[in-house]
A and B are shown apart, each in its own frame.
Chain A
Amino acid sequence: DAGITQSPRHKVTETGTPVTLRCHQTENHRYMYWYRQDPGHGLRLIHYSYGVKDTDKGEVSDGYSVSRSKTEDFLLTLESATSSQTSVYFCAISVQGPYEQYFGPGTRLTVT
């Protein structure tokens, strides 16, 4: 157990509303990631962080922003949710490295 939690676990929201998803880890790992998973597309990287206040874009970053003000928390924000952002969102951390990532339980987001 890599000590990763995500909140909320499920959320239904309306188009145009802002949404923030939280990823929390308990073991001070440097690297944290946000992925989305959709049928036919697999896991795709949205944003990642390599330290406090150090973040960068992944392959599907449009419409998303992130923040990391503390080592243990990595926030994903949808400024104005759209139906195309309906997905399952996974947070991950690199544990033993290099590249060995462990995933949180996921957040199922539905945008109506």
Chain B
Amino acid sequence: EDKVVQSPLSLVVHEGDTVTLNCSYEVTNFRSLLWYKQEKKAPTFLFMLTSSGIEKKSGRLSSILDKKELFSILNITATQTGDSAVYLCAVPTQGGSEKLVFGKGTKLTVNP
């Protein structure tokens, strides 16, 4: 069974700190890994990492994929209160049809 495990489940930091969120996965036929940010509404897409694109960066957020060790990390530097959210990791399941299995998320709280 395909599985995604995120750690830590929650994290509290101060503005300006750097944080690292972890996502490990077990999937029969790896194709990609996706990161989402969820504030008090719907998840919004951040990054997709694939075998041909194992690093992504957007402003203060960056992510890398380690296909050998089956994990990904999401880094956020110089955190701001607006980074407070639940960060979700997902991978496509086996069998195609573009289904995703999600981890339970990491809740990040950035205090001023």
Q: B31, A99: Cβ atoms under 8 Å?
A: yes
Partner of A99, one of B43, B88, B92, B104: B92
Q: B48, A48: Cβ atoms under 8 Å?
A: no
Query: Closest CB-CB distance, B3 to chain A, in whole Å?
Result: 12
Please report the total number of A residues contacting B with Cβ < 8 Å: 25
Q: A40, B31: Cβ atoms under 8 Å?
A: no
8 Å CB interface, A10-54 against B? 31, 33, 40-45, 48, 50
One of A61-69, A72-80, A90-98 contacting the partner:
A90-98
Counted as pairs of residues, one from A and one from B, with CB atoms less than 8 Å apart, the total is 57
Given A42-B88, A100-B48, check contact A94 B98 (CB 8 Å). yes
Least CB separation from A2: chain B residue: B45
* Bound CA span A31–B92, Å: 14
Q: B103, A100: Cβ atoms under 8 Å?
A: no
* Bound CA span A100–B101, Å: 12
Partner of A45, one of B43, B88, B100: B100
Partner of B98, one of A44, A58, A99: A99
Q: A100, B97: Cβ atoms under 8 Å?
A: no
Query: Closest CB-CB distance, A86 to chain B, in whole Å?
Result: 18
In this complex, the member of B97, B98, B102 whose beta carbon has the largest number of chain A beta carbons within 10 angstroms is B98
* Bound CA span A13–B44, Å: 29
Partner of A31, one of B43, B88, B98, B101: B98
Q: A101, B97: Cβ atoms under 8 Å?
A: no
Taking CB atoms, residues of chain A closer than 8 Å to B105 are 42
Q: B45, A102: Cβ atoms under 8 Å?
A: yes
Interface set of A (CB-CB < 8 Å, partner B): 31, 33, 40-45, 48, 50, 56, 58-59, 90, 94, 97-106
Task: List 26 contacting pairs A-B, 8 Å CB cutoff, sorted by A.
Answer: A31-B97, A33-B99, A40-B104, A42-B102, A42-B103, A43-B43, A43-B88, A43-B90, A44-B102, A45-B100, A45-B101, A48-B97, A48-B98, A48-B99, A50-B98, A56-B97, A59-B101, A98-B31, A98-B92, A99-B32, A99-B48, A99-B100, A101-B100, A102-B45, A103-B43, A104-B42
